[in-house]
Each structure stands twice: as structure tokens, then as C-alpha cells.
Amino acid sequence: MAAEVREAEQIGNTSDSDSVQTELLETNEIPGKSENALLVATDSFEDLNYAGLTNGTLPTVSTSGTIHSLVKKKARRASALLDENEAAGDNTASSDETTNAVDQESSEVSGEDSQEDHLESRLTDLSLNETESLPEEIPMTQLIPTSSDIEDVNSLEWKQQRRHIFIISESGKPVYSRHGSEDKLVTIMGVMQALVICTHDFQKDTLRSIVAGDHKFVFMCRDHLTFIGITRGRESTQQMLLQLTYMYNQVISVLTLSTLTRIFKQHRNYDLRRPLSGAEKFFDNLLNLMDVEPGLLLSSVRCLPLDSSVRENISHSIVQHAKVKDLVFALIIAQNQLVTLVRMKKYYIHPMDLHLIINLINASESFKAAESWTPICLPKFDACGFLQAHVSYLDEECHTCLLLLSVDIEAFYILSECKAKIKERLVRYNALKAINDSLRRNSYSIQQCSISDLRHFLYKSRSIAQYTSPELEAPYHTKEEQQRLFDLYHYLHDRIHTSGRQLKILFHVGPYETLLGWVTQGFELYAVFGPLVTKTIAIHAVNKLLRWIKKEEDRLFILSSVTF
Amino acid sequence: MSGKKKADLKVIILGDYAVGKTSLICRYIDGKFQTQEPTVGAAFFLKQWGPYNVAVWDTAGDERYSGLSHFYCRSAGAAILAFDLNNPKTFESLWARFGSILEAANEDCLKIVVGTKVDLLEPEHREITIEEGRKLSRDLNEHIDIRKLPHDPYFETSSLANENVQEVFEYIFQYCLPLSADQKKRHRNQQKSVVDLLENSEEGDKGKKKCC
């Protein structure tokens, strides 16, 4: 496929692109820019970097102990929070140490070869074909999957999966596999863990990726676990790493980092599937979400388009009726889109954490039955403790979900009252109806931007970590075409961010569409045009688009953050 | 709506993963059976019993949520210990896992042992006898005067076939919040009218489908 593509690329590369950029950008104002952001501003390039992945710490939020300090703050209601903090007189201290130790260790490793582009050993070697042998080499009899080995490594269905994700414990025990049952994959998982360990022990190096034929194997080791992603799609190594990082965060979200380290400290060969049982659906769902939701790639969140007055009204209702001690975040999510977020002063939410929250709701139907109370760890907020989430749907159709995140495990009944009051007020002011109307209108059509030949785009405002994009319309109305569009975005994103040098502008002519990617201090824009568009037309169109987004920014983004 | 003070009784349901706790509660509260997604954390229901409000906590069976158990067990007046009649392991768990968890509940907490999925049970393959179940239920309730109860707090239910489900809850409520004969009658009538309406509407739906 890639070989067929006629490429004509013009790259404004780093050296002179500043001047190019100022010439290109016709407006001075960046759409969706805000000094008062509600999310932790992210830069997907940094997040994709090895250094960024391993350090994890953010300037605004400390990775650990946030909950502890929040709890400490309130008048020594000791042992109130969670057993994490309860049992943790010595525990918080020790787990802090371990976090640091792990961080140091991994940053050392990444320091070693951060100069070279990552280690990509191209193995066309035969030894690998044993595990990834090509279908045509297998005799016909083996190709037909029988019911007994349908989930086996030899089954065609298993082999033809576009992407595999595995989690293995340090001692080589299977923890998770996206396709097939872990029990039947013990051997292949053992082989992969052996590769990792051999590289580490004999070469004193870290195995990062292998390319074999059209498959790419990406490895990530963190906290006694090895995460392995295998793809024959167009994701780059670093994009796969980002996916693995999300998987790691999901593990932490279920267990907390302190529990994870404690478990493996006590029993090196512990079967982690036990504490994770029932959580498989969160992993599966998260991976599915990555295939349809560009926000995870961009480390940003999509907001439900709403008139700013309506949104203000909603946040105001929450502030007024949920002014409760120990409530850290209150948010409303409707069909994977953020409606509003109210936060405690000084505490921010990271888009990666927000994606885990969205995944929690998205993956489980059980919240639709009744008000629920569940622990959730947000790794970027505090990897070592649980927040308690009060989860409830506000409407009969179960579209609009309210989440109240507190550090107090006893707060359920108070939050339940808050929820009743918030709901009543939102019904009275027709805010729920406004949310439902917006959901029914399906975001917006590309035609509303009235730019001919522009087929689709992703626009991310960096300072607020939010993105916007129109509905998927023809020609991207089938699953295959949507997959192709996603591949294009992955390609564009990768070329701009991770080809060793960061580009500012990339113009790419493909057989079916023309792509323009543009990254500045303030925004990232990925636009898809018809195939016959020239560079000048594309740049004009993009400027027009930026003006349109600027005009609509109050509706498309949450520009000011509300605190309790 | 759901303030702590307003609930007169707190009932919790415990038991291993996938024994049918949510199905049991949904059968009682909504009067219908549907396949359930695994519960996440704990879910809260409010139910009327005569003049009283009863808070019902449905909990997740997964071990990773055991951190929550203190929260929902505290001041529980009754606990339903559910196990799958077709899976002896889940019966053993009642002793092994949930005995200690329930120490946080009220001292006079009534513990009801409930075997689920009796509709799937083939009598010749039965591994847990009725007598074993009864014995466990008596042992668990050593602290309360068992003679006050009409029979051992042990039930075998089917949420699918609506067998013995009402009886479990009425047994609990009648013990913890006794209603007079008159109140009970009124409550039955209320319940009945609810069920009737539902059955009617279901029939109506079926009729429509046939028309199409």
C-alpha cells in the first residue's frame, strides 16, 4: 500500500519554519486559547517521547501523594480514606521511594540512547517466523480453525488480528491478552518475556521494538510488568508506546501503584489476573476506544458543543449544589464528550486520566441501573491512592452521566443528595434537554465550515488540551474508510512529531486525499482535503478554518475553568 | 431522596463474582429478569416496605473491590450471602471471604444464605445439600435468637423463574421491620398491582409483535 502511494511532500522544516509559519498564519488569534485551562495542558510530542513516558511527572501536579495531602489537610480524620492510606503509615513513604526509584531507573535507560532514534532491530530472521509465520507457509489443513484451537496461536483468526496487546508479569506469567485466552498463549508470552530479559541481562540494554515483515513489535517495561504491542497497522513505534502507556495507566487505575508494587514485592510470581479479574472489559474497551477516538492519540478531550451560557449554567448548578468538603472533581460526560468539569482549587485533571474516566463509564452498563460508588485511581493525579467516584445518570435514556470524585469513602450519601439537587436544577433550567439536543444534532457537519474540498479535520488547542472535529461523513461513512482515515491521521501525526525532528508543517499528496498537518505553539491541526488540492489552496482553506473555529470557540471548547 | 437518616434498614448482598447478586436484586426491585453486566463497585437501591425505607446495597463480587466492604457493611441490619448452587466454590467463599467482612455490620445483623440459579440445578448433580446450606445459615446466626425466625434463614432461589425471590426480602423485612397484618396486606396489594401492570404491558408488547 505504502509503496503505491505517490508522494509529493513539501516540508517546511525546523530551521526556516518560524518565518514560514508567520507568513502562513493569517490570524493573530489562536482559536480555543485560554490562560485559565481546566485540564493539564499536554503536548502529545512530549507524551510520546521516551523521556516523557518514563518521567511521568508534570509541573503542575505531583504524581504521588496528592490524595494523601488532601486527606491530611482535613482535620485528622485518621484512617478515614481508604485502606491504601490506612495501611500506609509506612506505606506512602515507601511507595514514594519506589516510584522515584523506578523513575530514576527508567530515565537512566532512556537517557542512554535518547540521541539515536530508538533501537529498531529489523529482524527478518527465521527464528521469528516460528511465532509469526505467514499464513501461506502453513499447510491447508491447519488453516481451518477447529473449535478446540480457535484461540490458539495457530488459528488464522488470531493471526489476522490487526493489533495484539499483551501484558506479562516479570516472571513471565500472562496477565492480559486482547485476543485469545491467556492460558493458551502462555508459550508465546514466555518467548516474548525471554526476548526482553535476554536483551536486558546479556546485552545490558532495553528491547524497544522489532520489525518483522509488516509486523511491528513494541515493548515497554514498567513496574514489574512488560507491555507488548504488535501491530500491522500504520501506528508508529511511539504511537504504540502511547497505547501501551494507556494500558499501564489502566492497570494502575484498577489497582493503584502502591498495591502493584506491594504485590510483586511479596510474591514475584503472583498471578495478577486474580486482582484484575472482572477488569478485562476495561482493557478491551480502552483499546477499542483508541481505534475510534482521536483524543487518546492527541492527549486531549472533546467537548460536547453547547452554548457557553448553557454550559455556564450547568457548572454553576454544580458549584452551588455540590460544595462539599473533600469533593475534588465533579464532571458531566455525555457520550464520551465532556460537558463540564468543576475542580477543587489548585487541582487539575490530566487528559489521560479523563480518558480513563470516560473508559470507566463507556465500558460498563451497570451504572445505568443505579447510583454507584466505586474506587478509581487516576495515575496522573495520584498513582498511589483511590478516589471514590459517585456515578449516576441524570436522564432516563442514560446519555448524561454525572461523576463526583471525592477522597472521602464515607461521602456517598452526601453526594447522593448533591446529585438529586443538581439533577433537579438541570431539569428546571432545561439544561438536560440542551445536552440531549446537542447529542442528537451529532456535533457538526464539515459543511458548516463552508470550505470546499475540506473533508475532515482534527484541531487541538494545546493550552486547554481539548480538540474538536466534525462528524465522520461520506466518504468516511463505512468502517473501512474510517479506519483508513484514522491511518492517515496516524501517519500525519507520526511524520510531524516523531521522525527524529519535529516538523511544523507537512503537506502530503496521496492517491485519494491531500493532507496538511500544522503544529504551532498554540495548536495542532490535521486536515484532510480532496486529492486535487494544491498547497496554496490548502493553506488558504486552513486559515479560513481557523477563523471559523475562532468564531465558534465558545461553543466548541470549555475556555474557562470553574472551581468550587 | 436517599439520605442516610431516611433509610430505616440497610440490606447488603455479598457473594462471589457472577453468582447472580444483581439479578436477584433486579428481580425484586424491577420485577424482571435480564442478563446483567458485572457490577462496578457498589450500587445503591431504595425500596419501600410499608411505611419504611429500605436501602439495598448491591456489591461487586470481584476481590479488588474489597476495600469498599467496610463502607457498605457498616450498620447493615441484614446481609444476603449469595452463592451459586451449581458451583461449590462459591459456597465455600461465604465462609472464607465474607465472614470477616461482615464483622463491620451491626451486631444483630441477620445473615441469610441464598442459593441462586436453582433452575439450572440438576438434582442428581447436586453438590451442596439443603442440609449443608441450612447448617451454614444457623452457624452464621449464632448471635441472634433463631427461634424468633419462622424457619432457618436459608433459601434456594431462581431470579430467572422468579422463584423464592420475594420471599427472601419479605423474610428479612418482616424480621427487621415487622408490619402488622393490615400493613402487610396493603403492601402486598401495592406489589401486586405493580406486577400486574407489568405483565399486562408485556403481553401488550407481544401482541404488537405478532401484528407486525
Q: Do A125 and A216 belong to one domain?
A: yes
The answer, yes or no, to whether residue A135 has pLDDT greater than 50, is: no
Interface touch B2/A413, C-beta < 8 Å: yes
pLDDT at A493: 92
Of A275, A370, A391, the CB nearest to B63: A275
* Residue of chain A with shortest Cα separation from B72: A410
Interface touch B71/A281, C-beta < 8 Å: no
Q: Do A16 and A58 belong to one domain?
A: no
Please state the rounded mean pLDDT for residues B142-146: 80
Structural domain boundaries enclosing A209: 120-292
Q: Do B198 and B169 belong to one domain?
A: no
Q: Do B81 and B151 belong to one domain?
A: yes
Q: Which three cell numbers stand for residue B92?
A: 465455600
Q: Do B70 and B151 belong to one domain?
A: yes
Q: Do A125 and A214 belong to one domain?
A: yes
Task: Calculate the CA A138 to chain-centre distance.
Answer: 37
Is residue A180 one of the residues assigned to a domain? yes
Lowest mean pLDDT among A102-111, A433-442, B37-46, B134-143: A102-111
Per-residue pLDDT band for B193 (boundaries 50, 70, 90) equals: low
Is residue A2 one of the residues assigned to a domain? no
pLDDT tens digits, A376-423: 999 999 999 999 999 999 998 899 999 999 999 999 999 999 999 999
Q: How many CB atoms lie within 10 A of CB A160?
A: 10
Q: Do A148 and A281 belong to one domain?
A: yes
pLDDT at B201: 45
Is residue A79 one of the residues assigned to a domain? yes
The answer, yes or no, to whether residue B49 has pLDDT greater than 90, is: no
Percent of chain A with pLDDT over 90: 48
Count of structural domains within chain B: 2
Burial, B122: exposed, middle or buried (Cβ in 10 Å; 0-12, 13-18, 19+)?
A: exposed
In this prediction, the answer to ipTM > 0.90 reads no
Q: Do B111 and B211 belong to one domain?
A: no
Q: Do B100 and B12 belong to one domain?
A: yes
Task: Find the CATH number of the domain harbouring A217.
Answer: 3.30.450.70
Place of cell 432461589: B157
Q: Do B149 and B57 belong to one domain?
A: yes
* Residue of chain B with shortest Cα separation from A278: B62
Q: Do A237 and A255 belong to one domain?
A: yes
The amino acid sitting at A172 is: G
pLDDT at A301: 93
Task: Find the CATH number of the domain harbouring A354.
Answer: 3.30.450.30
Indicate the SS3 state at residue A218: strand
Is residue A563 one of the residues assigned to a domain? no
Indicate the SS3 state at residue A404: strand
The answer, yes or no, to whether residue A91 has pLDDT greater than 80, is: no
Q: Do B30 and B133 belong to one domain?
A: yes
Count of structural domains within chain A: 4
Per-residue pLDDT band for A447 (boundaries 50, 70, 90) equals: confident
Taking the CA atoms of residue A98, residue A100, residue A105 and residue A109 in that order, the dihedral angle to the nearest 10 degrees is 140
Lowest mean pLDDT among A142-151, A239-248, A535-544: A142-151
Q: Do B185 and B105 belong to one domain?
A: no
Q: Do A128 and A170 belong to one domain?
A: yes
Whole-number Å distance between alpha carbons of A186 and A228: 14
Is residue A562 one of the residues assigned to a domain? no
Q: Do B82 and B168 belong to one domain?
A: yes
Q: Do A32 and A58 belong to one domain?
A: no
Lowest mean pLDDT among A61-65, A117-121, A212-216: A117-121
Residues of chain B contacting A, Cβ within 8 Å: 1-4, 17, 22, 26, 36-45, 58, 60-65, 67-68, 70-71
Q: Do A307 and A287 belong to one domain?
A: no
Whole-number Å distance between alpha carbons of A58 and A494: 23
On chain A, the residues whose CB falls within 8 A of the CB of B45 are 370
* Residue of chain B with shortest Cα separation from A385: B67
pLDDT at A435: 93
Is residue A322 one of the residues assigned to a domain? yes
Place of cell 485519494: A512
Q: Do A382 and A468 belong to one domain?
A: no
Structural domain boundaries enclosing B73: 4-179
Place of cell 521516551: A50
Q: Do B18 and B113 belong to one domain?
A: yes
Task: Find the CATH number of the domain harbouring A463.
Answer: 3.40.1840.10
Q: Do A69 and A80 belong to one domain?
A: yes
A479–chain B nearest CA distance, Å:
27
* Between residues B105 and A17, the one the model is more confident about: B105
Is residue A54 one of the residues assigned to a domain? yes
pLDDT tens digits, A175-226: 999 988 888 888 888 888 888 888 888 888 888 899 998 899 999 998 889 9
Is residue A1 one of the residues assigned to a domain? no
On chain A, the residues whose CB falls within 8 A of the CB of B59 are none
Q: Mean of the per-residue pLDDT values for chain B? A: 83
Q: Do A106 and A140 belong to one domain?
A: no
Q: Do B169 and B193 belong to one domain?
A: no
Give the residue among B156, B62, B171 at the shortest CA–CA distance from B117.
Answer: B156
Q: Mean of the per-residue pLDDT values for chain A? A: 79
Q: Do B24 and B126 belong to one domain?
A: yes
Q: Do A28 and A78 belong to one domain?
A: no
Q: What is the DSSP letter of B118?
A: G
